[in-house]
């Protein structure tokens, strides 16, 4: 079975953020991820990781004003300096927390924007971030997100991501493949994962519809977990789903797959 990481932005949300680390460890997880660490001192998060023997798997580059609707700024030509400052901030956190990969969210395309200019900005920002992160031994991943949940999200399918990766031209840029988002946008999950295994460095999951835990929707997760093993996927699988009731009540899928 793959290695599963608890996404602490979506699981155990009945607890304060810093208390979710203990809950994840108690539930049997050995790794954690989340959207952002930046509201807390890195040393305080590191203490929770160490206390519960958890691996810090992933977090995102600063993504603008999340509370007011930003979902990344990497494609925005007006925010390049903000993006670059965010890369430095993320590196500082990663060096303390010990994670070896960071995700970049492209952001929402402004209405009426020149898509060619957004594409060029995104490529240049990825090139900049990939180089800076590589110097610190950190991999950069980029995530494709469905345009039903986030209308006009700029990076929204695998073929687009592969084309952008080619244009960036960095061996330190990889894909983050979220099964939930890509089931909505393109389907053909198993074949896409296998065909692009060399450039997929992180996988996330949730079922569809509802974005709840595996087993609540249409995706055959038993098959996909076995498929990931069969094709030799070595990375983590982040559990980025909304529990249908409580996190603890919904963890039966993990135990049934002998995952923890």
Q: What is the DSSP letter of 80?
A: H
**Per the residue annotation, which of 14, 82, 186, 240 is the catalytic one?**
240
Mean per-residue pLDDT, 46-55: 98
Structure tokens given for 228: 């990931």
**What is the pLDDT, as a whole number, of residue 256?**
82
Inform me whether the pLDDT recorded for 39 exceeds 80.
yes
CA terminus-to-terminus distance, the chain: 9
What was the pLDDT predicted at 259?
53
Asked if residue 199 has pLDDT above 70, the reply is: yes
Q: State pTM to two decimals.
A: 0.96
Burial classification of residue 78, based on how many CB atoms lie within 10 Å of its CB (0-12 exposed, 13-18 middle, 19 or more buried)? exposed
Q: How many CB atoms lie within 10 A of CB 216?
A: 20
Say yes or no to pLDDT of 1 above 90. no
Mean pLDDT of 67-81: 97
Q: Which residue in this structure is represented by tokens 């330190």?
A: 172
DSSP state of 62: P
Phi-psi region of 203 (alpha: psi -120 to 50; beta: other; left: phi over 0): beta
Say yes or no to pLDDT of 225 above 60. yes
Please give the pLDDT value at position 260: 47
User: Among residues of the chain, what percentage have pLDDT more than 90?
Assistant: 97
SS3 32: strand
Instruction: Average the pLDDT over 231-245 and give the result.
Output: 98
User: Distance between CA 71 and CA 103 in Å, rounded?
Assistant: 12
Mean pLDDT of the chain: 97
DSSP 153: B
| pLDDT for position 5 | 98
Looking at domain 31-211, its CATH class is alpha beta
Q: What is the DSSP string of 82-136?
A: HHHHHHHHHHHHHHHHT-SEEEE-B-BPPTT--HHHHHHHHHHHHHHHHHHHHHT
240 catalytic? Reply is: yes
Q: Assess whether the previous peptide bond of 209 is cis (omega < 30° from 0).
A: yes
Let me know: does 177 contact 149? Beta carbons within 8 Å. no
User: Is residue 213 among the annotated active site residues?
Assistant: no
Of the residues 143, 163, 186, 213, only one is catalytic, namely 143
Q: Of 1-5, 123-127, 192-196, 225-229, which gets the smallest average pLDDT?
A: 1-5
Say whether pLDDT at 258 is over 70. Answer: no
The stretch 17-36 carries a mean pLDDT of 98
Confidence at 257, pLDDT banded by 50, 70, 90: confident
Structural domain spans, the chain: 31-211
Phi, psi of 114 (to 5 degrees): -75, 110
């Amino acid at each position: 079975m793959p290695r599963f990481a608890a996404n602490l932005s979506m699981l155990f949300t009945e607890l304060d953020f810093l208390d979710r680390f203990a809950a994840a460890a108690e539930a049997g997880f050995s790794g954690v991820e989340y959207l952002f660490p930046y509201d807390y001192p890195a040393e305080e998060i590191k203490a929770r990781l160490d206390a519960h023997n958890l691996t810090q798997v992933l977090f995102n580059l600063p993504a603008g004003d999340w509370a007011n609707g930003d979902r990344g700024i990497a494609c925005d030509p007006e925010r390049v300096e903000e993006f670059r400052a965010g890369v430095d901030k993320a590196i500082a956190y990663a060096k303390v927390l010990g994670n070896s990969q960071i995700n970049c969210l492209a952001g929402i395309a402004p209405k009426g924007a020149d898509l060619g200019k957004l594409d060029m900005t995104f490529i240049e920002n990825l090139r900049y971030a990939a180089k800076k992160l590589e110097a610190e031994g950190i991999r950069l991943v980029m995530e494709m997100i469905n345009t039903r949940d986030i209308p006009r999200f700029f990076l929204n399918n695998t073929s687009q991501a592969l084309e952008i990766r080619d244009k960036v031209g960095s061996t330190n840029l990889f894909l983050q493949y979220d099964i939930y988002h890509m089931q909505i946008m393109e389907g053909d999950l198993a074949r896409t994962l296998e065909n692009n295994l060399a450039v997929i460095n992180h996988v996330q999951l949730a079922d569809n519809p509802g974005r709840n835990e595996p087993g609540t929707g249409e995706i055959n997760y038993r098959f996909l977990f076995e498929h990931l093993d069969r094709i030799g996927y070595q990375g983590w699988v982040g559990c980025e789903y909304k529990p249908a009731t409580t996190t603890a009540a919904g963890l039966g899928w993990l135990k049934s797959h002998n995952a923890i």
